[in-house]
Amino acid sequence: MEFLMQGTGYAILVGFGAVFAVVTVLALWLDINFAGHHSNSENFQTAGRRIKTGLISVDVVSHWTWTFTLLQSSTVTFKYGACGAFWFSAGATLQIMLFGVMAIQIKRKAPNCHTILEVVRLRWGKPAHLVFFYLFFINNLFITSTLIVGASSVITTLTGVSLEASCILIPLGIIIYCVAGGLKAAFISSYMHSVIIFAVIAALIFTVFVPNSTTNTTLGSISNVYNNLLVRAEAVPVVGNKDGSLLTMYSVGGLEFGWIFFATCFGWVWADQGFWQSAIAARPEAAYKGYILGGLLWFAVPFSMATTIGLAGLALDLPMSTQEIGQALVPPAVAYHLLGKGGVIMIVIIIFMAVTSSGSAELVAVSSLVSYDVYKTYINPKATGKQVLLVSRLTVLIFGLFSGVFCIGLIHAGIDINWLFSVIGLLVASVFPPISFLLIWNAVPSGAAIAGALGGQFLAITAWLSSTHILSGELTTITTSQNGPSLSGNITAIVSSAIVDGDVESPAMKRAYKISLWWAFGLSAVTFVIWPLLTLPAGATWSKGYFTFWIILSIVWGLVAGLVVTFYPLIESRKVIIRILTCRPKRSTHSVPSSSSLPSDDSTLASPKKVGKEGNGVAPPDSIDAKLAPGDISIQVPR
């Protein structure tokens, strides 16, 4: 299904990669000269720990918007109807909101750390540190592989570009600006890419649901889409949906996918240093706010995109084969039918935007793990800031190129994005309970954390392979990526890990933690429980009025989210923008010391012995930090 010439594919891969690398490096130069920020190892890995709410939320959106998000959400909707877009969005939003609780906790417990694994090492010791490094690394590797494999496969299919070339060219562009600017470069690219993605989603929304004369389509209004969906459901009823309807929440397949996605995403988020990196980079007051807002903004990406493209594909009754649907070609097929080759170019561009923005976060995350948790911990504890910075940049280069080669091997071995999606969660979901306990509860010993993480992984793999053999009778990439085995493996990983870790009492929580907890659980309950329950009375087939309400909700959510993503970070950075426009450089800043003057890891992450009276530069006796058990991290929260 080649829609574009091969030259167009290479132009996007090389041209856009080069343009965004240049623009990002230019933005970094402006940041150094007009915002007064330093170029050192501290800023490379933490962006100076001064990122505000708007940019944190945009980074969350960008980091969580994978190629899989844009393509598979529409595919799920094409399979199960309108409920597919909802379950895809809800299944992966709760984790982001709950991670806001972790974000405020790491700012309170270890505001000067560089990675979450530094906290693991100081609390649980070297064995636990090595175990969790293994889990975090394979998570980052498989996430990066999912991004590259998904994007390369689709771009190759649509343009005829060499698969091997795609796997190398995609990370190459990311490497250039990540080597130059590290985490700050990832934040800048995240903003630019997110704005473009929301702009394309807005264009698709208006094409499908708003009357216009520029497209060759039978759609162009909510009413037309609704009528066509009724005809489609009558001709091709959906197995597992009540009355075969495309417009219902009574869907066995949709619900099953939602729960698989829900269980899978906990491991993806909690075992991804990239998410911890953003929390570390945030200002204390922006940590949980950025993640909760980011969750609300991200919900709009798959919900608005899939509701538009997935339902449009069904309403147009596109003759797509099972293989084409499995290859996630629904979005480009719909875009081609609506807008011709220009529509396909738009889809290829946002796929490229998604993989580069998410991929940059993964490269910086791995560089942090290697430079601080391997090099500075075990190889050269007395490393200077310049040495750490050099190792970080080399890691970005080496891991980026290795990821491309690794993905080529996966593709030639017959591994696709669907299999990777099924496997990642069950490999790392067992990280969720112990890492949560690390920052919230202080009674979990090192042995329990290790047993929970490794035991959960072992039991998850056992449950996954056993259920596959029972249900299918054979173990192949197709049978092991089915919904049932994947769900059993992911649920086993989380539940068994929590059981091994044990049940302990929670320490006292401060006001910010309480606020983040209420917001996270409240919004999660609304999106994952209350909303679908309120939808059930609409029946097996929604009325035209209810369908209109659903579509308008997806349109408004998508457009408002796009406006927030575009303008909120600019408003927060208005002072720097004014300095740039008026050519008033700011040469220095006193908020962050130079890398050479930064304390070592052990002194930065203070030991429990330093807990004392308020005013001694340590946490006051009534704080959570002062109540931690021996071996815990104890660091004063910046007042």
In this predicted structure, the answer to whether residue 620 has a pLDDT above a threshold of 70 is no
Confidence of residue 398 (pLDDT cuts 50, 70, 90): very high
Supply the DSSP string of 129-194, one letter for each residue.
HHHHHHHHHHHHHHHHHHHHHHHHHHHHHHH---HHHHHHHHHHHHHHHHHHHHHHHHHHHHHHHH
Q: What pLDDT is attached to residue 346?
A: 92
Q: What pLDDT is attached to residue 601?
A: 38
Percent of residues, the chain, with pLDDT higher than 90: 30
Closest CA to 169 of 333, 378, 384, 12: 12
Name beta bridge partners: 251: 241
**Is the pLDDT higher at 251 or at 588?**
251
C-alpha 546/C-alpha 291 separation (Å) is 31
Lowest mean pLDDT among 211-220, 310-319, 605-614: 605-614
pLDDT single digits (tens) 509-536: 466 667 777 777 788 788 878 898 898 8
Confidence of residue 141 (pLDDT cuts 50, 70, 90): very high
In this predicted structure, the answer to whether residue 591 has a pLDDT above a threshold of 60 is no
Residue 4, amino acid: L
Q: What pLDDT is attached to residue 102?
A: 87
The mean pLDDT of 234-249, rounded to a whole number, is: 91
The mean pLDDT of 248-253, rounded to a whole number, is: 90
CATH superfamily ID and name for 6-40+55-212+219-235+243-598: Sodium/glucose cotransporter (1.20.1730.10)
C-alpha 54/C-alpha 295 separation (Å) is 12
Q: What pLDDT is attached to residue 297?
A: 94
Q: What pLDDT is attached to residue 547?
A: 95
In this predicted structure, the answer to whether residue 585 has a pLDDT above a threshold of 70 is no
Lowest mean pLDDT among 34-38, 215-219, 283-287, 524-528: 34-38
Residue 342, amino acid: G
User: Cβ(518)–Cβ(502) under 8 Å?
Assistant: no
The mean pLDDT of 77-87, rounded to a whole number, is: 93
Q: Is 213 exposed, middle or buried (0-12, 13-18, 19+ CB in 10 A)?
A: exposed
The percent helix, strand, coil of the chain (3-state, each to 5) is 75, 0, 20
Residue 609, amino acid: K
Q: 375's torsion region: left (phi>0), alpha (psi -120 to 50) or beta?
A: alpha
| Radius of gyration, alpha carbons of the chain | 24
Residue 71: partners with Cβ closer than 8 Å, 6 or more residues away? 150, 154, 328, 330, 331, 351
Residue pointed to by tokens 């490094």 = 133
Name beta bridge partners: 51: 282
Residue 157, amino acid: T
The token duo for 561 is 């989210």
C-alpha 57/C-alpha 289 separation (Å) is 8
Confidence of residue 118 (pLDDT cuts 50, 70, 90): very high
Confidence of residue 504 (pLDDT cuts 50, 70, 90): very low
Residue 211: partners with Cβ closer than 8 Å, 6 or more residues away? 220, 221
C-alpha 372/C-alpha 384 separation (Å) is 12
CA distances from 57 to 297, 355, 365 (A): 8, 18, 18
C-alpha 559/C-alpha 547 separation (Å) is 18
Q: How many CB atoms neighbour CB 328 within 10 A?
A: 26
Q: What pLDDT is attached to residue 16?
A: 77
Confidence of residue 37 (pLDDT cuts 50, 70, 90): low
**Is the pLDDT higher at 504 or at 155?**
155
In this predicted structure, the answer to whether residue 394 has a pLDDT above a threshold of 90 is yes
**Is the pLDDT higher at 54 or at 542?**
542
Q: What pLDDT is attached to residue 600?
A: 39
User: Cβ(599)–Cβ(588) under 8 Å?
Assistant: no
Q: Where are the domains of the chain?
A: 6-40+55-212+219-235+243-598, 599-632
The mean pLDDT of 323-336, rounded to a whole number, is: 87
The mean pLDDT of 97-111, rounded to a whole number, is: 83
In this predicted structure, the answer to whether residue 590 has a pLDDT above a threshold of 50 is no
Residue 627, amino acid: K
**Is the pLDDT higher at 85 or at 443?**
85
User: Cβ(352)–Cβ(343) under 8 Å?
Assistant: no
**Is the pLDDT higher at 17 or at 316?**
316
DSSP state letter for 282: B
C-alpha 618/C-alpha 610 separation (Å) is 6
The mean pLDDT of 18-39, rounded to a whole number, is: 69
Residue 148, amino acid: I
CA distances from 147 to 11, 67, 118, 364 (A): 20, 6, 27, 15
The mean pLDDT of 278-291, rounded to a whole number, is: 81
Looking at every residue in the chain, the average pLDDT score rounds to 80
In this predicted structure, the answer to whether residue 636 has a pLDDT above a threshold of 50 is no
- Residues in the chain, total: 639
Closest CA to 301 of 520, 553, 557: 557
Confidence of residue 229 (pLDDT cuts 50, 70, 90): very high
Lowest mean pLDDT among 284-288, 329-333, 390-394, 423-427: 284-288
Q: What pLDDT is attached to residue 452?
A: 87
Winning range, highest mean pLDDT, from 290-304, 474-488, 581-595: 290-304
User: Cβ(442)–Cβ(509) under 8 Å?
Assistant: no
Q: What pLDDT is attached to residue 406?
A: 94
**Is the pLDDT higher at 255 or at 519?**
255
pLDDT single digits (tens) 548-575: 999 999 999 999 999 999 999 888 877 7
Q: What pLDDT is attached to residue 306?
A: 95
Q: How many CB atoms neighbour CB 530 within 10 A?
A: 12
In this predicted structure, the answer to whether residue 635 has a pLDDT above a threshold of 50 is no
In this predicted structure, the answer to whether residue 386 has a pLDDT above a threshold of 70 is yes
Closest CA to 94 of 569, 524, 555: 524
CA distances from 27 to 57, 64, 283, 355 (A): 19, 23, 21, 20
